[in-house]
Amino acid sequence: MKKYIKPRIVGSSNVH
Amino acid sequence: MNKPLRNPEIVWRVENRRQTEVLKALETGEEIEDSGTVILLQSGMMHQLNLIGGLIWQQCDGQQSLTDIAGELAKEFTVEQSEVESDVAEFVADLTERGWLINE
């Protein structure tokens, strides 16, 4: 079994 | 019927090598929760999802209910079904609000 981590958005950035 | 579907306008990919690395680390009990394994592109922005977020995203094909998605995760990770169900529901609601998922 693998350790569970909570789902989340870890980063957002401008493409340009 | 509450079977989330990815917005077809979003371009995305799985960072396979990183996903494999993170899965391996979690197997040894290491906690890697801020590493992005799935990348989404939408209107000039790039977003990254962590491993569980990415696995949920990959399962949002419009065929699986939230319970189905949570059940798949509970098989592989040490987590109670009730906890993962509420996490999946919250995460899907957030992404639906952002317009990344369509919840039918």
Q: Is the pLDDT of residue B103 over 80?
A: no
The predicted-structure confidence for B68-97, as pLDDT tens digits, reads as follows 999 999 999 999 899 999 999 989 999 998
Model pLDDT for residues B45-76, shown as the tens digit of each residue: 889 999 999 999 999 999 899 999 999 999 99
Asked whether the predicted pLDDT for residue B104 surpasses 80, the reply is no
Q: What residues of chain A score a pLDDT lower than 50?
A: none
Inspect the interface and report whether the beta carbons of A5 and B50 lie closer than 8 Å. Answer: yes
Report which of B48, B55, B64 is spatially closest to residue B87, judged by C-alpha positions.
Answer: B55
Residues of A in contact with B84 (CB under 8 A): 4
Q: Residue ranges of the domains in chain B?
A: 4-103
Q: What is the model's pLDDT at position A16?
A: 67
Count of other CB atoms within 10 angstroms of residue B21: 15
Query: Would the CB atoms of A4 and B49 count as touching at under 8 Å?
Result: no
Contacts of B31 (CB under 8 A, 6+ apart): A3, A5
**What is B4-103's CATH superfamily?**
Coenzyme PQQ synthesis protein D (PqqD) (1.10.10.1150)
